[in-house]
Copies of this chain bind each other. A is one copy, B any other.
Amino acid sequence: MTRDPDRVVELLWHEGGREPRPGLSLARIVCAGIELADAEGLEGLSMRKVADRLGFTTMSLYRHVPGRDQLVDLMRDAVLGEQPLTGPQEGGWRARLEACARAAWDLRRRHPWLAEVRGTRHVPGPNAVALYEYMLSTVAGTGLRPAEMIAVVGLVGRFIDAEALVLVETSREERHSGVSEEEWWGARDSLYERLDRYPTLSYLWEAGGYDQPEDSFEFGLRRVLDGIEVLIKERDEKRDETCRVCGTVLEGAPSGRPRRYCSRACQQRAYRKRATP
């Protein structure tokens, strides 16, 4: 089976859709992979185990999927389809983006291995693109420049995965060792003995900062959204002084009909938005 990236594009976008028949099928393989990864994490996903779970030999899978990496791509897109793409109609960009972030977080609690899918060359399937489109749409119309909208969505996405990664790593180590996180760190006396010389650390310890920690996701999400809000307010203040596409300062007659774009090129770029339905 071809290893060409275009092959996985076809598989993702359903061009090889087969009617259900007895025996193996792409859908069955992807489904078994998801079950396995849900239970054992991405490192526990092996072609052998997927095949065993389906009652076939390892190599039979390669008749339907080019390889393990591509299987993960397919699993990922399948699972991304579970995330609802509806948000609050009122409340502006922040309410919508926050709801979206929480939905993504929920999804990663159901399928923790999502955060373990690393790499920068995963072809997005229809579900991934729909989700990305939706996230971008939450910050459209904020006065941010195009590159900033993209950066905002990227930042929030990476934040969610970073937090999810911590969770999945914790549960993996608990599964492998049989020892809970708390228990393990509690047994590190030989380490704690050496930490008295560090004043800030000791103070925070004594002050109970580690006893009632902040919820890492909630805390971080609020900070990140606050930071984005600062930027959006900043852009909003200068909305009538800068080009809405590239952000350069508009010069010329400030009275009369205010200009919105620095050049004809930028204006056309903005208008092309409405051309596409």
Q: Mark A152-173, 1 if CB is under 8 A from B, else 0.
A: 1011001101110110011001
Q: Main SS of chain A's interface residues?
A: helix
A276 at the interface (CB under 8 A from B): yes
Residues A136 and B231 in contact, CB atoms below 8 Å apart: no
Residues B162 and A120 in contact, CB atoms below 8 Å apart: no
* Stretch from A20-28, A106-114, A143-151 contacting the other chain: A143-151
Instruction: List B contacts of A129 (CB < 8 A).
Output: 194-195, 198, 201
- The quantity of this chain's copies bound in the complex is 2
Contact of A209 among B147, B162, B206, B228 (CB under 8 A): B147
A18 at the interface (CB under 8 A from B): no
A207 at the interface (CB under 8 A from B): yes
Instruction: List B contacts of A165 (CB < 8 A).
Output: 118
Q: Mark A203-233, 1 if CB is under 8 A from B, else 0.
A: 1101111101110100110111111111100
Q: Mark A260-276, 1 if CB is under 8 A from B, else 0.
A: 00000000011011001
Residues A220 and B155 in contact, CB atoms below 8 Å apart: yes
A196 at the interface (CB under 8 A from B): yes
* Stretch from A51-59, A71-79, A184-192 contacting the other chain: A184-192
Residues A190 and B10 in contact, CB atoms below 8 Å apart: yes
Task: Report A35 CB to chain B, min CB distance, Å.
Answer: 24
Residues A191 and B222 in contact, CB atoms below 8 Å apart: no
Residues A137 and B222 in contact, CB atoms below 8 Å apart: no
Q: A209-B149, A227-B222, A231-B226 are in contact. Are A273 and B203 (CB under 8 A)?
A: yes
Residues B124 and A207 in contact, CB atoms below 8 Å apart: no
| A-B contacts, 23 listed (Cβ < 8 Å) | A5-B188, A9-B188, A119-B169, A120-B169, A121-B173, A130-B198, A137-B200, A146-B204, A146-B207, A148-B219, A150-B209, A151-B214, A155-B216, A155-B220, A159-B162, A199-B273, A199-B276, A202-B273, A202-B276, A206-B272, A207-B245, A208-B269, A226-B231
Chain A positions near chain B (C-beta within 8 angstroms):
5-6, 9-10, 13, 118-121, 123-124, 126, 129-130, 132-133, 136-137, 140, 145-152, 154-155, 158-159, 161-163, 165-166, 169-170, 173, 181, 184-185, 187-188, 190-191, 194-196, 198-204, 206-210, 212-214, 216, 219-220, 222-231, 245-246, 269-270, 272-273, 276-277
